[in-house]
Amino acid sequence: MDVMKLMMSDYNVETINDGLNEFNVEFYGPKESLYEGGVWKIRVELPDAYPYKSPSIRFVNKIFHPNVDETSGSVCLDVINQSWSPMFDLLNIFEVFLPQLLLYPNPSDPLNGDAASLMMKDQKQYDQQVKEFCERYAKKENITKATSDEETDDDEDVTDEETRSSDDEIAGYADR
């Protein structure tokens, strides 16, 4: 029911393996934030015990944020991971929890130590890094590319320049 509600809302939902337990959702950065204008593919996996057990949420394309693991895209979100209640639904995640996470990062509880450290030491440099990641990884074409990378594993279009740095990998790509 939750998944259907999400599909009928303004969110673009793409099911995986023709089931409703695993799917991707197109998520836009909140207005008036460093992430405004960015678009991310969010992978959602519902456990068998959902809604009594929280869903697994991760960013597929890269994001620079203290509470998102840079490699896996996993989200450190207290409400989702520890305080989940069956009263919450998937719309809450995309309309409240994720926007709040991006608007109010918590560098004292990091999954990305580099982002947390930079945020605490040099806010201006942190802001610039966030914007660079948005420009580089959080465009509509990036989530389309992330889909084709996941489905085909085809690296023919990758240039030498793109293979020089692990920073160019899409979050979650190494999970396979």
Known catalytic residue at 134: no
Candidates 76, 93, 101, 116; catalytic one: 76
Q: Is 40 helix (H, G, I), strand (E, B) or coil?
A: strand
SS3 helix, strand, coil % of the chain, rounded to 5? 40, 15, 45
- Identify whether 47 is preceded by a cis peptide bond (ω within 30 of 0): no
Cα separation, 91 vs 7, in Å, equals: 10
32: region left, alpha or beta (phi > 0 left; psi from -120 to 50 alpha):
left
Q: Which residues are catalytic?
A: 76
